[in-house]
Structures are given as structure tokens and as C-alpha cells.
Structure 1
Amino acid sequence: MTAQGGELVPLMNMFDGPSQQIIANTRVEQTNGDDISAFEDGGWAFTRVGSISEITLKSAAEDAGLTWEELERIPLGSGSETQAVLESDRADILSTSPNNAAKAVSSGEAYLVTNPQDDESSPIAKQLNSVLAASPDFVTQYPEFTQDVVTAVVGELSELAAATSPDEVLEGMPAEFVAANADNWDLLWEYSHTGFTRATGGFSQEEIDQTVAGAQLVAVVDSSYAPPAELFDNSRIVAAYEEIGADAPAGLS
């Protein structure tokens, strides 16, 4: 966790859930389908050791009755290698971001095995994914500006939660984003939208517990680690809802 050593102050959470899809090489679709245990002898790719990508894939493997340490694990270093590792047939199954998953599935090189982002029964379904943070010195020196930033992002999250279609969301994006993602946008939004619509901006105890459990699963923190109670402060998020004229979600105050 970035704030474990006290270097950063968590201000708000901008995305709820792992933001990962588990996809597989289309050459094994007929034989393996969505049976994760069927990939036992294949190559298991993820971005980096200790990443949410590894947490997601390891969790899925263990849920399927497999032993993670006995599998052929392939850390890619970057999600941008997703397409290359599929085209070279080095990987049979991998966990990657909605953007990379949408591109791979749209290209025909991969198919969706499961979408952990939509699986609320997953032990990491509601983990803190994109935490906006700042240094303690910055927060102390610029308290009003810090609050203004949090309020602006809470307002954006509220607009995303109220959106009724992928097109409505895309229309509000910068031109550069539209140009880069328009071709895969419907699939990208399908894979990722729950992370935005579930996020309140705040830190619930369930989200904190799942985040710590995921970090412990891949030994990013030790099994005894527990964040200090004062680390995750919802006061700025509650103030943000007041400033935009909306009721703060239950459990944040």
C-alpha cells in the first residue's frame, strides 16, 4: 500500500474493484472454455509480481483448486505486452486491464473467461483500486486546493454513476481519449463501468479489508499488517458531497 510508510495521505478512492479481466488465448477456447482449472498446464500471464493483476489471477487459480506456485507464471512487466504474449502463444490465460482486455478480445486473439470486476462474490470485488493521494506537506500547505480537487473528482464520479449509456460517457471525454479508445469503447465500458458506478470516493471498512487481504495474498505486506485507523479519513469526501449539494453515501461519515 502506497501509504504504508506514511509517505502519502490517501485523499479518496476513484475506482472500486480489481479493474481486471481474465482472458485467454482463442486457440484454447474450444478445449478450455471458461473452466479455469483446465488451464493448469498452460502459461499464466500477469503484469508484475505483487500487482493487482497477479492478485486477481492467483485468486482465480486458487478458487479453481490449483496451486499458484506450481503453475507456469509469466510476469510481463507491463500490460502493454498483452497482445504480444497472445500472438506469440506464450500465454494461455492472463489477467489484464479493461483497456488491454477489450483490445485483445476485439482483435480476435483472446476471449473473455471471466470478469472479476463484475463478480461481487470475489474476495477482492470491492478493493480500493485507484486512490488519489498527496504528500502530508502538500495537504498541510494547500488544504483548500486539496479539498477542491477531491470535490471535483467526487462530482465526476457522481456524473459517471448517473450516465445512462457508454456513448454519453464517451462524449464527455477529451478528444485524445476518444481517438485512442473509440473503436473498443463499448467493450471497454462494459468491462470497467462497475468500478466507477460503485465507487463513492470514500473508504469503507470492507474496501480497506479487501485491499489488505489482496496485498497479503501476494506478500506485498505481511500477514500481520493492519493500516492505522486514522489513515483512511472520509471527512474530505463527506465535505465534497456537501459542496456539490448531494447526500453522502451511507457509511462515510
Structure 2
Amino acid sequence: MTFRLIWRALAATLGGTVAVYGVAACGTSSGDQPSSGSSGGTIRWAAAGGYNSSYAPLLVAQGQGLFSKQNVQVELNTFATGSSALAALIGGSADVASISGLDMLRSAQKQNGVVAVYTPFDSAASSIIARKELQATYGTDIAKFKDAKWGYAAEGTSSTYYLKTLAEKSGLNWDRLGRNALGTQSAILASLTAGKVDIVSTDLTTASKAIQQGVGYLVLNTNDPDATTPYWGKQFGSVFATTKSFLQKRPDLIQGFVAGLVDGQHMLQQNIGDASRMLALFTPEVQTEFKATWDQQWKLTAPAFDGVDGTLTDEMLTSELAWATSCGALPPGTTLPPSSEFADNSFVERAFSTLGYAKPTPGATPSA
């Protein structure tokens, strides 16, 4: 099975010019029978920042032809933030978007027709890092960053509220800290390198590059539930979401997409303990993109996949809502409609049944 990486750029009305690239798989032969019953088609997937290891189930599915088994092709459109990817989904220029748990709660509150269909990992798809020069004196003691310059991509994002929670749990006053919204992940790395910021919340690719290049060091791995639960409870990180209108039009295509994700997650969890084996599961193009920082990136990411089966539970939603209202990401007293209105686990359940896999359990996944 071969894949081709297609690079292009387009002008979008959503926040200016957006760089876009897609990955499309070649189709299955006419004799292949998809277990999902999908009649085939292309999923336009919107995501923030392009590829990073938090998308590993999807990347494994691409690399191993698991979407093609379902007659599904996936085209990636990249955006500066997850909120922009969500706007593309709602606006109809994407069929599926990877969005944060916080954006999922906001969508549920607004009842804007967004539906979560797959939850790939626990905790957050980011890391908290600081300038390497500060490691000897500041270490991982957040309280020592009182007079530091704090950075993140944009106001109102999950990264902002993770930093806010971390600061306030460490006795700091968020409103009195020096803060910078830097716009993009590449700007975060450049600002950290230039010393314009001291501590940042950033995606896994950027964090890994900073650590590997000696520019930054790890303060807190937000993908490790054991490390982050004391700060913000149980997080469900992000979801693959679609819209009710698209589900009504193409439930078979979403089923094929989710079946590919479940298949990819299963293969990931079988190989999670070996970073080099994991990298080999991706397409050659993705391997090339990841190669320089992969060992560091996978070390940060792997704990979040332990025992995850892709469903979104009421317990996860309750915990995420408690954090969001406590840190000001959502107003105090915010309530949500019944989860059945914005989360549909039936696609995951059906995929496990048709693929014949047993659901993983926490602690059963080999450690990386």
C-alpha cells in the first residue's frame, strides 16, 4: 500500500491564509470487503499544527493501509489552532476535526451540532517546557517562574488554561504574570530560542524539537495522567468530532473512519513499548518528518494511550467540566445537555465488534 503526501496552500476566510496539506491513500481493490460496510469516500480532516504524535492511531492507520481496508481516504487540512479547525468543521469545509476537550465542551454547551465519535488518548496533546538556561535554578518548581515570561499560542485555548491552572495551583496570580499569546507553534519555538518567553505550553512536535535542540527542558508532561491529575483531574485530551448533519448524510463513511482508528489504536498498543517499531508503522513521508525528534516525542506521548479504547464516558466529561469551570475556561455553574446529544460511542463499539478486538484495559498496555 502506498501513500502520497500532497502539499498545497490556500487562502481561507478563516483567520487569513492557512497552510494545508493532505494525505490520501490509494483505494482498495474491488475484491476487498470493508468490515465497516462503508461504500467509500474521502474524509476532510481538520487539525491544528499538522502531524504530531498525538495523532498516532490515525497515522498508523494511514501507514498500514487500515483506512484503505475500509474504502476510506483521509485528507488533512492544517490550522493554527484547534479552535480554527473546529470553525472549519462547523462551517462545512471539513468533515472531521481534531479538537480539544475544552472545545468539545464549548460546542456541547452551545449545542452547535458537533458530535464526538472517537477519543484517542487521555490527558493533553501538549507539554510544558521552559528555557534550558533556567533549568539549574528553576527546575520544575512552578512557583519560581513568578517573574518569568509565559507563552502560548492564543488566548482562550486549552494551552492557556493548562498554564493558568498550573500557575494558580503553585500559588501564583495568573493575572499578574507576564504573558504572551504568540500565535503559532513555530512562533513559540522561535520566541523560546530568542529568550522572549521563559515557560510555554506547546504541542508535542515543538516541545520535542526544543528539548532535542537544547533550547528547552521539560517542566511537566501533560500527556502523563499520573503527573497531571493533581493539577486538573482526568482529561480526555481531544476528540475526533464530526457534525450531526454529516452523520446523517454519511454514517457509513464515519463508521469506516472510526474502524480505521480503532484498528490503528490496536496496532499502536501492541507496539507502544518500542519507539522505533512505532515509527516504522507510519508512512515514509511521516517517518521522515518525525525522525529527528521521534524518540523524544514518543516518550512524551506514549503514557496517554495506556488502556484507551476510544469511547468518551460521562466520568471523563464530568471531570473535564469540573476543571474548565474551576479555571475560568467556562463560566461557573455551566451545565451540559445529555452526553447522547454530543457524543456517539456506537461507532467505536461497532468497530470493536466487527474487527473482533477485545477492549484494552488501563495498565495492560506495555510501557514505552
After TM superposition, the score normalised by the length of structure 1 is 0.91
Percent of aligned positions with the same letter in both sequences? 28
Aligned 1:17-166 pairs, distance under 5 A: 17-120=123-226, 121-124=229-232, 126-163=234-271, 164-166=273-275
Q: Distance in 1 between matches of 2:261 and 2:252?
A: 14
Unaligned runs of 5+ residues in structure 1 are: none
Q: Distance in 1 between matches of 2:335 and 2:346?
A: 21
Instruction: Name whichever of 72-81 and 37-46 sits farther off.
Output: 72-81
Unaligned runs of 5+ residues in structure 2 are: 1-102, 362-368
1:180 aligns with 2:289: yes
- Equivalent pair of 2:166/2:231 in contact (CA under 8 Å): no
Q: 1:241, CA displacement in angstroms?
A: 0.9
1:236 aligns with 2:347: yes
Q: Distance in 2 between matches of 1:108 and 1:84?
A: 13
Q: Distance in 1 between matches of 2:201 and 2:183?
A: 13
Q: Which amino acid aligns with 2:295?
A: D
Q: Which amino acid aligns with 1:200?
A: D
Q: Which amino acid aligns with 2:290?
A: N
Superimposed CA distance per residue, residues 148-187 of structure 1 (whole angstroms, 9 cap, x where no aligned partner): 2111111111111121301111001112211111011000
Q: 1:27, CA displacement in angstroms?
A: 1.6
- Equivalent pair of 1:18/1:56 in contact (CA under 8 Å): no
Q: Distance in 2 between matches of 1:242 and 1:116?
A: 32
Q: 1:106, CA displacement in angstroms?
A: 0.7
After TM superposition, the score normalised by the length of structure 2 is 0.64
Structure 1 vs Structure 2 CA RMSD: 1.9
- Higher relative contact order (Cα pairs below 8 Å, separated by 6+ residues): 1
Q: Distance in 2 between matches of 1:14 and 1:89?
A: 34
Q: Which amino acid aligns with 1:9?
A: V
Q: Distance in 1 between matches of 2:327 and 2:152?
A: 13
Q: 1:64, CA displacement in angstroms?
A: 0.8
Q: Distance in 2 between matches of 1:218 and 1:35?
A: 20
Corresponding residue pairs, total? 250
Q: Which amino acid aligns with 2:355?
A: I
Q: 1:200, CA displacement in angstroms?
A: 1.5
Instruction: Name whichever of 11-20 and 30-39 sits farther off.
Output: 11-20
Q: 1:224, CA displacement in angstroms?
A: 2.2
Superimposed CA distance per residue, residues 190-209 of structure 1 (whole angstroms, 9 cap, x where no aligned partner): 01112233432101223212
SS of 1:145's partner is helix
